[in-house]
Amino acid sequence: MKTIKTAIIFLAGILFIACNNNDQKENTAAKKDSTTMPSPKTDSVKYTALMVENAKDPTCGMPVGAGIEDTLHYKNKIIGFCSKECKDEFVKNAPKSFAAVEWKK
Protein backbone atom coordinates (compact mmCIF):
# COMPACT_ATOMS: atom_id res chain seq x y z
CA MET A 1 0.00 0.00 0.00
CA LYS A 2 2.85 2.35 0.88
CA THR A 3 4.50 1.56 -2.46
CA ILE A 4 1.33 2.48 -4.39
CA LYS A 5 1.07 5.85 -2.60
CA THR A 6 4.73 6.54 -3.30
CA ALA A 7 4.30 5.63 -6.97
CA ILE A 8 1.23 7.90 -7.31
CA ILE A 9 3.06 10.81 -5.67
CA PHE A 10 6.09 10.18 -7.89
CA LEU A 11 3.96 10.10 -11.07
CA ALA A 12 2.05 13.22 -10.02
CA GLY A 13 5.36 15.01 -9.47
CA ILE A 14 6.63 14.01 -12.92
CA LEU A 15 3.35 15.13 -14.49
CA PHE A 16 3.56 18.49 -12.70
CA ILE A 17 7.16 19.05 -13.79
CA ALA A 18 6.37 18.06 -17.40
CA CYS A 19 3.40 20.45 -17.59
CA ASN A 20 5.36 23.26 -15.99
CA ASN A 21 8.24 22.71 -18.43
CA ASN A 22 5.84 23.04 -21.41
CA ASP A 23 4.48 26.34 -20.06
CA GLN A 24 8.02 27.69 -19.76
CA LYS A 25 8.83 26.65 -23.34
CA GLU A 26 5.67 28.37 -24.64
CA ASN A 27 6.44 31.53 -22.66
CA THR A 28 10.02 31.55 -23.95
CA ALA A 29 8.80 31.09 -27.54
CA ALA A 30 6.27 33.90 -27.12
CA LYS A 31 8.93 36.21 -25.70
CA LYS A 32 11.29 35.33 -28.54
CA ASP A 33 8.59 36.06 -31.13
CA SER A 34 7.71 39.41 -29.57
CA THR A 35 11.32 40.52 -29.36
CA THR A 36 12.15 39.61 -32.95
CA MET A 37 9.20 41.47 -34.46
CA PRO A 38 9.44 45.25 -34.19
CA SER A 39 6.36 46.95 -32.87
CA PRO A 40 4.84 49.67 -35.06
CA LYS A 41 5.72 53.21 -34.09
CA THR A 42 2.65 55.40 -33.92
CA ASP A 43 4.63 58.59 -34.50
CA SER A 44 5.58 57.36 -37.96
CA VAL A 45 2.00 56.74 -39.16
CA LYS A 46 1.23 58.65 -42.33
CA TYR A 47 -2.43 59.40 -42.88
CA THR A 48 -3.82 59.83 -46.38
CA ALA A 49 -7.01 61.31 -47.76
CA LEU A 50 -8.16 57.77 -48.60
CA MET A 51 -8.29 56.92 -44.89
CA VAL A 52 -10.84 59.58 -43.94
CA GLU A 53 -14.41 60.43 -44.91
CA ASN A 54 -14.26 64.23 -44.94
CA ALA A 55 -13.17 66.35 -47.90
CA LYS A 56 -11.79 69.26 -45.84
CA ASP A 57 -10.48 69.82 -42.35
CA PRO A 58 -13.69 70.82 -40.54
CA THR A 59 -11.88 73.37 -38.36
CA CYS A 60 -9.79 75.35 -40.84
CA GLY A 61 -11.19 74.22 -44.20
CA MET A 62 -7.91 72.89 -45.60
CA PRO A 63 -8.45 70.06 -48.15
CA VAL A 64 -7.48 66.68 -46.69
CA GLY A 65 -5.58 65.94 -49.90
CA ALA A 66 -3.02 68.57 -48.83
CA GLY A 67 -2.03 66.51 -45.79
CA ILE A 68 -3.43 64.93 -42.67
CA GLU A 69 -1.62 64.95 -39.33
CA ASP A 70 -4.33 63.45 -37.11
CA THR A 71 -7.66 61.64 -37.23
CA LEU A 72 -10.68 61.24 -35.01
CA HIS A 73 -13.41 58.60 -34.89
CA TYR A 74 -16.71 60.36 -34.19
CA LYS A 75 -20.23 59.01 -34.75
CA ASN A 76 -18.90 56.07 -36.78
CA LYS A 77 -17.00 58.40 -39.13
CA ILE A 78 -13.26 58.88 -39.54
CA ILE A 79 -12.43 62.57 -39.74
CA GLY A 80 -9.01 63.85 -40.81
CA PHE A 81 -7.34 67.03 -39.55
CA CYS A 82 -4.36 69.01 -40.81
CA SER A 83 -3.01 69.39 -37.25
CA LYS A 84 -3.52 68.33 -33.65
CA GLU A 85 -4.66 71.88 -32.86
CA CYS A 86 -7.47 71.65 -35.42
CA LYS A 87 -8.53 68.31 -33.96
CA ASP A 88 -8.51 69.76 -30.42
CA GLU A 89 -10.63 72.70 -31.60
CA PHE A 90 -13.11 70.29 -33.21
CA VAL A 91 -13.41 68.28 -29.98
CA LYS A 92 -14.25 71.40 -27.92
CA ASN A 93 -17.64 71.65 -29.65
CA ALA A 94 -17.92 68.31 -31.45
CA PRO A 95 -21.70 68.26 -32.17
CA LYS A 96 -21.66 71.68 -33.84
CA SER A 97 -18.36 71.00 -35.62
CA PHE A 98 -19.60 67.62 -36.84
CA ALA A 99 -22.69 69.23 -38.40
CA ALA A 100 -20.40 71.50 -40.44
CA VAL A 101 -18.17 68.72 -41.86
CA GLU A 102 -17.89 68.67 -45.65
CA TRP A 103 -18.07 64.99 -46.59
CA LYS A 104 -16.56 63.37 -49.64
CA LYS A 105 -18.95 62.74 -52.48
Q: Which residue has the higher pLDDT, 57 or 45?
A: 57
Query: From residue 82, how far is each of 41, 61, 98 by CA, in Å?
Result: 20, 9, 16
19-54: pLDDT as tens digits:
666 555 555 555 555 455 555 555 566 888 899 999
Where exactly are the structural domains of the chain? 1-39, 42-99
Instruction: Give the residue among 57, 50, 46, 49 at the shortest CA–CA distance from 81.
Output: 57
Q: pTM, whole model, 2 decimals?
A: 0.57
